[in-house]
Amino acid sequence: MPVTDIRIEVCNHHPARSDGRYILYWMNAARRLGWNFALQRAVAWAEKLQRPLLVVETLPCDRPHANLRHHHFALDGMADNARGMAHRSADYYPFVERESGEIAKLLTALGEQACLVVSDLHPLRESVRATQQLADRLPILLERVDSNGILPLQAADREFTTAYSLRRFLQRNLLPHLLHMLLADPLANASLISVPALPERIHKRWPAADHDLLTGSRNGLRLLPIGQDTGPVATRGGSVAARNVLQVFLREHLDLYHSRRNEPQQDVTSGLSPYLRWGHISSHEIVQRLLDLEGWHPSNLSLETRGQRSGWWGVRQDAEAFLDQLITWRELGYLFCARRDDYDRFESLPAWAQTTLLEHAADPRPYLYSLQQLETGQTHDPLWNAAQMQLIREGRLHNYLRMLWGKKILQWSPAPQQAMAIMLELNDRYALDGCDPNSYSGIGWVLGRFDRAWGPQRPVFGKIRYMSSRNTARKVAVDAYMTRYRP
């Protein structure tokens, strides 16, 4: 099944070189061997040109917030991929960067012998820049392929400012893309020639991640120029763990999703966001498994396309609610970042939100906390402190508390721009799902993005939606949560 053109972006004007030694797939976002449009495209090229396929997965050391926690999680995924590729007809080269710039040099060297390069299309700046720079350097074709969501990024005709407007658009336009599913295992029936040995100088200069880094004690990470004081957490990364998490969610928690998903203590949400963030699982696979479970057929879809939050899919309420989060809310963030280069800046907030926040910037704050006080959970608010401790200890934070967490940072910071900077710092550094388009839509949401103006106006918040710990504790049970995550 060919990948549709709308998911493919051609990044330079060079043709594929017919005398190259292999097709190079640079895996840097969709870090998985199944349900991956870019891999599927690379396999199709390899079959067409009758050349071997070399898959190079890279882990950079110079991305914002590269740290031990994120590296461990990503390496679990690389270990799964190494195991998964062991008996395949394509070659897999996992590379962990030791100093900034190595990845670009390795890919340039490998690109010299390639027919063409296929890469992942991911909407964040660093990824767009790195792939474009490689495309500009190499004299061969480089294609970026979009595996991000059910709606291809190029299929949106405008910037969506609310979940409602995107939902309405999806209800009218999603079905053809949904039906164009991708292969669960693009390598399964591929007849590929095996890759000739790579030159010794490549192995010597840029050695592939060894057993210790992939599955051993990973002592080598201590030598890397990455954040050394943000340690790993118990949650394992990788496609195998992601599938287990999905299984547990579908079996044990989906039935409670609609009614209980805001309860931090019960925590029936899927826990899939870190795996989506690192590309260890695809939203296509999640959607397919869920729809299979529901016995769904396209004829279930409602003909009414008013942007209603439930009832469109024609599945149970719990499944509708989950699909709305996974598709509407998640893809809202991806689409936003794909269109706006300033997605993590104050200036990217809607004009009304900037205006009201700036009008109230000089309001007196009852409490002001430094980044360090916030980081260590030293505020007067025990629920907030507990949320921060969960983030630090487990690398995750329940969605409902995450909203409260952000709102309080706004209230306790000297200015909204500083609040935004603190949220970005803490979220992206500690959360396993941080540095994702949804980090910026979630933090932006705290400051009014994708939301509307609320009244009455309040100090500091102005017309921005307000949340308080007292109201949260009234709405959902938090006693056991606060005991569990006491600083």
Ligand X SMILES: Cc1cc2nc3c(=O)[nH]c(=O)nc-3n(C[C@H](O)[C@H](O)[C@H](O)COP(=O)(O)OP(=O)(O)OC[C@H]3O[C@@H](n4cnc5c(N)ncnc54)[C@H](O)[C@@H]3O)c2cc1C
- Residues lying near ligand X in the complex (CB under 6 A) are found at 261, 269-273, 276-277, 325-326, 329-330, 333, 399, 402-403, 406, 423, 427, 431, 433-434, 436, 438-439, 441-443, 445-446
Q: How far apart are CA 125 and CA 344, in angstroms?
A: 10
Q: How far apart are CA 223 and CA 53, in angstroms?
A: 32
Whether 428 and 439 have beta carbons less than 8 Å apart is answered as yes
Nearest approach, Cβ of residue 9 and ligand X (Å): 23
Nearest approach, Cβ of residue 427 and ligand X (Å): 5
Nearest approach, Cβ of residue 420 and ligand X (Å): 10
What is the end-to-end Cα distance of the chain in Å, rounded? 53
Nearest approach, Cβ of residue 431 and ligand X (Å): 5
Looking at the Cβ atoms of 202 and 256, the one nearer to ligand X is 256
Q: How far apart are CA 5 and CA 20, in angstroms?
A: 24
Nearest approach, Cβ of residue 150 and ligand X (Å): 12
Cβ atoms < 10 Å from Cβ of 125: 14
Looking at the Cβ atoms of 192 and 443, the one nearer to ligand X is 443
Q: How far apart are CA 313 and CA 211, in angstroms?
A: 45
Cβ atoms < 10 Å from Cβ of 299: 6
Looking at the Cβ atoms of 144 and 330, the one nearer to ligand X is 330
Helices (H), 382-448: 382-394, 399-411, 416-430, 437-446
Nearest approach, Cβ of residue 330 and ligand X (Å): 4
Nearest approach, Cβ of residue 279 and ligand X (Å): 12
Looking at the Cβ atoms of 71 and 407, the one nearer to ligand X is 407
**Nearest residue (beta carbon) to ligand X:** 442
Question: Which pair of structure tokens corresponds to residue 125?
Answer: 């700046």
22-27 sheet: strands from edge to edge: 8-10, 142-145, 114-120, 22-27, 53-59, 91-96
CA dihedral sign of residues 384, 390, 392, 396: negative
Looking at the Cβ atoms of 203 and 251, the one nearer to ligand X is 251
- Burial (CB < 10 A; 0-12, 13-18, 19+), residue 397, is buried
Place of tokens 């933090």: 443
Looking at the Cβ atoms of 75 and 443, the one nearer to ligand X is 443
Nearest approach, Cβ of residue 425 and ligand X (Å): 12
Nearest approach, Cβ of residue 159 and ligand X (Å): 16
Q: How far apart are CA 290 and CA 293, in angstroms?
A: 5
Nearest approach, Cβ of residue 472 and ligand X (Å): 13
Q: Which of 185, 153, 176, 239 is nearest to 35 (CA)?
A: 185
Looking at the Cβ atoms of 41 and 72, the one nearer to ligand X is 72
Question: Which pair of structure tokens corresponds to residue 175?
Answer: 């079905």
Looking at the Cβ atoms of 89 and 262, the one nearer to ligand X is 262
Looking at the Cβ atoms of 326 and 349, the one nearer to ligand X is 326
Looking at the Cβ atoms of 113 and 469, the one nearer to ligand X is 469
Q: How far apart are CA 479 and CA 234, in angstroms?
A: 24
Q: How far apart are CA 360 and CA 313, in angstroms?
A: 42
Q: How far apart are CA 226 and CA 228, in angstroms?
A: 6
